[in-house]
């Protein structure tokens, strides 16, 4: 076998998963290099989330494999994959709603270090410098003591990515980071997220429907149709593809 490409972060080979008669992933060969900011586009049901779920260990493919930095992670669980350096945020952030923003980041800090002794308080066990830096990075310092239940959707998304970044990942995968965020807030949320990822030199991959946001923040675009990657390349090239224009963007 040839030596793995040091610049390659994640690779999939022949990833396949069927749900009943539907191929949610239909033999996907894909590779992501360090430093890329990949936007994934595609209609609802195209298989964007399924692909993320397989790459982050939430579901297992029926065939094919996933390699992260050359290591086969196909059968590993979500926590193991997170520890190897793959962070993830969700379309619907899974936050502890009875905790404050700060406490959520403290929990992430403690989970990175290992476990919380039952005799130590959360705030003492957490790395407070790392928590303070993250509050600044995702622009939530002014909301540190707000309960997460009170946050508007955009700030929930920022917190969800902040939690992922506390584990010092090499790659963060974000499933629709601007979905549910008001159109006035969307651009600000994305600007903050991408600035945070760039400052930490984290490679990113995000699912996004807004073409303007994709054009602004992605270095590469992959278009999903029916469990396959139908087009993959520079944003201008993918948006000029007739199939993408018709099937993904809905142009006539």
Binding site for ligand ADP (CB under 6 A): 19, 22, 24, 42, 44-50
Residue 47 touches which of ligand ADP, Mg ion, none (CB < 5 to 8 A by kind)? ligand ADP
Q: Which is nearer to ligand ADP, 19 or 96 (CB)?
A: 19
How does DSSP assign 104-128, residue by residue?
A: HHHHHHHHHHS---TTS-HHHHS-H
Does the footprint of Mg ion cover residue 74 (CB under 5 A)? Answer: no
What is the closest distance, in whole angstroms, from the C-beta atom of residue 218 to ligand ADP in the complex? 17
Handedness of CA 201, 73, 208, 153 (dihedral sign): negative
**Gap between the Cα atoms of 105 and 69, Å rounded:** 27
Q: Which is nearer to Mg ion, 16 or 91 (CB)?
A: 91
Q: Which is nearer to Mg ion, 49 or 178 (CB)?
A: 49
What residues have CB less than 8 Å from 99, skipping those under 6 apart? 107, 147, 148
What is the closest distance, in whole angstroms, from the C-beta atom of residue 122 to ligand ADP in the complex? 34
What is the closest distance, in whole angstroms, from the C-beta atom of residue 38 to ligand ADP in the complex? 15
What is the closest distance, in whole angstroms, from the C-beta atom of residue 221 to ligand ADP in the complex? 15
Cα–Cα separations (whole angstroms), residue 112 to 68, 109, 130, 170: 20, 5, 11, 14
Residue span 46-65 as binding mask against Mg ion, x where in contact by CB under 5 A, dash where not: --xx----------------
Tell me how far apart the terminal alpha carbons of the chain are, to the nearest angstrom: 46
Query: Helices H, strands E: what count in the chain?
Result: 10, 10
**Gap between the Cα atoms of 54 and 119, Å rounded:** 38
Q: Which is nearer to Mg ion, 108 or 207 (CB)?
A: 207
Residues that bind Mg ion (CB under 5 A): 48-49
């Amino acid at each position: 076998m040839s030596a793995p490409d040091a610049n390659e972060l994640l690779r999939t080979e022949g990833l396949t998963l069927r749900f009943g008669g539907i191929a949610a992933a239909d033999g996907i060969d894909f590779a992501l290099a360090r430093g890329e900011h990949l936007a994934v586009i595609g209609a609802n049901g195209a298989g964007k989330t399924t692909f993320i779920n397989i790459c982050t260990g939430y579901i297992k493919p029926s065939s094919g494999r996933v390699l992260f930095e050359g290591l086969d992670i196909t059968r590993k669980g979500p926590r193991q994959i997170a520890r190897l350096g793959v962070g993830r945020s969700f379309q619907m952030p899974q936050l502890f709603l009875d905790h404050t923003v700060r406490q959520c980041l403290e929990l992430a800090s403690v989970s990175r270090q290992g476990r919380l002794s039952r005799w130590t308080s959360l705030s003492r066990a957490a790395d407070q410098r790392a928590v303070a830096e993250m509050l600044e990075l995702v622009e939530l310092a002014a909301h540190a003591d707000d309960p997460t239940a009170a946050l508007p959707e955009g700030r929930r998304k920022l917190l969800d990515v902040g939690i992922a970044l506390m584990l010092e990942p090499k790659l963060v995968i974000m499933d629709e980071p601007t979905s549910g965020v008001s159109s006035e807030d969307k651009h600000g949320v994305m600007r903050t997220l991408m600035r945070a990822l760039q400052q930490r030199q984290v490679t990113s991959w995000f699912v996004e429907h807004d073409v303007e946001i994709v054009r602004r923040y992605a270095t590469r675009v992959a278009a999903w149709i029916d469990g396959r990657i139908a087009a993959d390349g520079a944003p201008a090239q993918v948006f000029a593809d007739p199939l993408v224009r018709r099937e993904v963007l809905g142009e006539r």
